[in-house]
Structure 1
Amino acid sequence: MSSPAADSKPTEQTSQVAGETALQGSEELSSPGSDELVAAVGTHGGEPETGFDPISGWGYNHEPLVQSTLFKKDSEANLINDLATDYTISDDGLKWTVKIRSDVKFHDGEPLTAKDVAFTFNTAADASGSVDLSVLEKATAVDDYTVEFNLNDPQSTFINKLVALGIVPEHAYNSETYGSNPAGSGPYKFVQWDKGQQVIFEANPDYYGQEPYFKKLTILFMDSDAAFAAAKSGQIDLAEVPSTFADQKVDGMKIVSLESIDARGISFPMNPNTGEKTENGYVIGNDVTSDPAIRKALNIGIDRQALVDGALNGQGEEEFTGVDKLPWGNKEAIFEDGDIEGAKKILAEGGWTDTDGDGIVEKSDLKAEFTLLYPANAQERQALAVSMGEEAKKLGINIKVEGKSWDEIYTLCYSTPNVWGYGSLDPTDIYLRYYSKSYDPSTRNNVIMYNNPAVDNYLRTAITSPDQEAANKNWQLAAWDGTTGFSAEGDASWMWMATINYVYIMDEDLDIGTPKIQPHGADIFGSILEWKRA
């Protein structure tokens, strides 16, 4: 399995110069009509390296614009139909049957049928892309408007795959070229992609759903400073900006801060460093973080609200389990943090004391210190890492902060804590992060090599349960059952710090409706059909 909503190597961010070139190169962009929208919202996800192909990752966790999906989630995260009209699940959970609409056409005029749905899912499964379809045995078109999915494991979370993957046309799909010239059946048609600068979409006149107010949508690829400058000068309607810009005042513009389920957490390698290495030759284990006293002391001693206020400029919320806000989050695993004395007591009881007076506790000849990595191009993660280091000093733990490229992080994360980002409406994330058998160095699932048989049992029960209420209960018990769990109340396998807010500056007359819950990477266009100018 590959983690659907975890961090993946981002594409290179376009420079400020490239963004300015895009603006200067088109008079139309500098004075858009009322039904045209120019936005720079790619500071987190960046420009898609392989283009706008759902099979290679486009649209995962956010509105794909060009393609339709079988289902969607509304602003309350409830399942709603898109292409699908109904679905059933067999008693053994291994066969899912989905009925689809009969009135849908691709942008080239060809009808969309169950064959296209089956083709999309089978191709995506073979490609092993961003959408984890390892559970899918085969998708088959039963008739023109019925598709059958046969699974190799009865996973209740499969419904989320039917939300995630945009449908491509079998007759016009070429994996080498589709991303650069995609055709779909979504609310917008692809017009052009000027790599490194912008992509342009226009409204699909044959769309089966609600007609979008904005007839033309231009997305610019530029860094956050350039995007803010362009918005401030009136050249664009909407820009995603860092949390440090949240207090800015700009005439004719408003700041909108959207809450998210996008959590920032620190992975703690669970094993000591014994010289063991991964299949790829990367070092496994950390002698400091393998000690539960260290992990528990950090979890209870760090003041998360201080991290939010300082590192995130108040644009976020405390986070304790990585899924606090979700139906499968366990409220019993949330505790009072910022308890410095309690943390020091845990350390002392674990044998960690400062015998040489240097302010760092040690156990035998081992200092309580480790390196904390963060992706070098992630401003808010750097700020969180630095703040963590400052707070940890109060406990007698020395954290050395280092920014690295993702390529470097992927070789070091089995032995070195790292600041990760997760946030999905699919609880499969939990399974991949903590289930012992999900460890896979090629996907970075369970990078800490966590292994708790009781947690494994809860996770397997949750992911295979046909009853959603029973599944949620077992997800919660995996975090904390009163005795054990992956949360700080139990094994303290990670330290979750905060969920971040996504901050935007936009024209004050722009109405973005009721935004959907913002996942990892944001989904600002999730409510695009509700957007209009006030």
Structure 2
Amino acid sequence: MQTANGEHAASGAPIGNDVTADIAIRQAINLAVDRDTLVEVALQGYGRPAFGPADGLPWSSSDEHLAAPDLAQAEAILDAAGWRLGDDGLRYKEGLPARFRLTYPSNDTTRQLLAEVSAHMVRPLGIEMQPTGRHWDEIQREALHQDAIMFGFGSHSPQEIYYLFHSQHAGNGFYNSGFYANPQVDAHLDNAQAAASIEQANREWQAAQWDGTTGYGVRGDSSWAWLVNLEHIYFADTCLDVGELGVAPHGHGWPVTANLLEWRWTCD
């Protein structure tokens, strides 16, 4: 959530969070989270660290990553931004505690574990993320534009980048639920949409992530804290040849059966 508290969406849902609206909080969280450990603990090794919504795809920058977690740098960022440690171990800025809900769908044990482990990782900074399980109906009604949400995204199309980060799509369902807005990012996204070639478009998609000055990614606004990319696991009969599988996007975006016509039974 990058918008301050105090407004409401057309649906009536509250908008804004004064804690996560501070870029220092978002940068510190991104620096503190140990993504390799999240993969091992929450995914049992079946995945890899994530730093953006399209890691490894042509419309994502190959330079978009963070090195090992750096708590010292995260603490320095918080100190410089005026977030001071209180006697209770929590940081405060002008009386505001660095505390907010990290909401996940209550029927998703993987997201629950990711929420709990990542909350444990940032607590030494003096930031209290409160893992909170809710039904999607309740999330949409009360938390979608106010809490930090444990989302899952991933697509074979760069159009998802446009929906996630263009200010035009602020509050558009699950897309840009944090009401993120950056005019330079909007310009790059619009240029990508209007590009005359795929190569030119990809340069603009990547520039929206970071153009050397600003961007939605970890080197810019740190608009999200991307955590992990799941490695989808399937059980299959040893006699079934499923052919060459492509990059697996988010679960409801492209099923394992997408290349069903290539499947072959290899046993007599």
TM-score bracket for this pair, using the shorter chain length:
over 0.9
Question: CA RMSD for the aligned pairs?
Answer: 1.3
Q: CA contact under 8 A between 1:480 and 1:487: conserved in structure 2?
A: yes
Q: CA contact under 8 A between 1:369 and 1:398: conserved in structure 2?
A: yes
Q: Which sections of structure 1, spanning at least 5 residues, go unmatched?
A: 1-268
What is the aligned counterpart of 2:161 among 406, 430, 436? Answer: 430
In 1: Cα distance, 2:74 partner to 2:52 partner: 18
Q: Which has the larger radius of gyration?
A: 1
Please list, as runs of the form range in 1=range in 2, the aligned pairs for 1:36-47 lying within 5 A after superposition.
none
Please list, as runs of the form range in 1=range in 2, the aligned pairs for 1:5-404 lying within 5 A after superposition.
269-273=1-5, 275-356=6-87, 358-404=88-134
Moved more, 331-340 or 396-405: 331-340
In 2: Cα distance, 1:394 partner to 1:322 partner: 27
Could you list the structure 1 runs, at least 4 aligned residues long, displaced by more than 3 angstroms after superposition: none
Instruction: Name the TM-score, length of structure 1 as normaliser.
Output: 0.48
- What SS is found at the alignment partner of 2:122? helix
Aligned to 1:179: none
Q: Cα distance, 1:394 vs. partner?
A: 2.3
Q: CA contact under 8 A between 1:299 and 1:337: conserved in structure 2?
A: no
Q: CA contact under 8 A between 1:332 and 1:480: conserved in structure 2?
A: no
- What SS is found at the alignment partner of 1:373? strand
| 1:197-219 Cα shifts (integer Å, max 9, x gaps) | xxxxxxxxxxxxxxxxxxxxxxx
In 2: Cα distance, 1:439 partner to 1:347 partner: 27
The alignment-based identity, stated in percent, is: 38
Q: Does 1:490 align with 2:234?
A: no
Which one has the bigger helix percentage? Answer: 2
Which one has the bigger strand percentage? Answer: 1
Q: Cα distance, 1:408 vs. partner?
A: 1.0
Q: Cα distance, 1:508 vs. partner?
A: 2.3
Q: Which sections of structure 2, spanning at least 5 residues, go unmatched?
A: none
Aligned to 1:503: 233
Aligned to 1:526: 258
Q: Cα distance, 1:428 vs. partner?
A: 0.8
Q: CA contact under 8 A between 2:104 and 2:111: conserved in structure 1?
A: yes
In 1: Cα distance, 2:80 partner to 2:264 partner: 60
Q: Cα distance, 1:307 vs. partner?
A: 0.7
Q: CA contact under 8 A between 2:33 and 2:121: conserved in structure 1?
A: yes
- What SS is found at the alignment partner of 1:372? strand
In 2: Cα distance, 1:335 partner to 1:402 partner: 27
What is the aligned counterpart of 2:204 among 454, 466, 474? Answer: 474
Instruction: Name the TM-score, length of structure 2 as normaliser.
Output: 0.94
Q: Cα distance, 1:413 vs. partner?
A: 1.2
Q: Evaluate the alpha carbon distance shift between residue 484 and residue 349 of structure 1 in structure 2; reply closer, same or farther with a 3 A threshold.
A: same
In 1: Cα distance, 2:21 partner to 2:240 partner: 50
Aligned to 1:460: 190
Which amino acid in structure 2 is aligned with residue 375 of structure 1? P
Which amino acid in structure 2 is aligned with residue 530 of structure 1? E
In 1: Cα distance, 2:180 partner to 2:76 partner: 25
What is the aligned counterpart of 2:137 among 399, 407, 431? Answer: 407
Which amino acid in structure 2 is aligned with residue 533 of structure 1? W
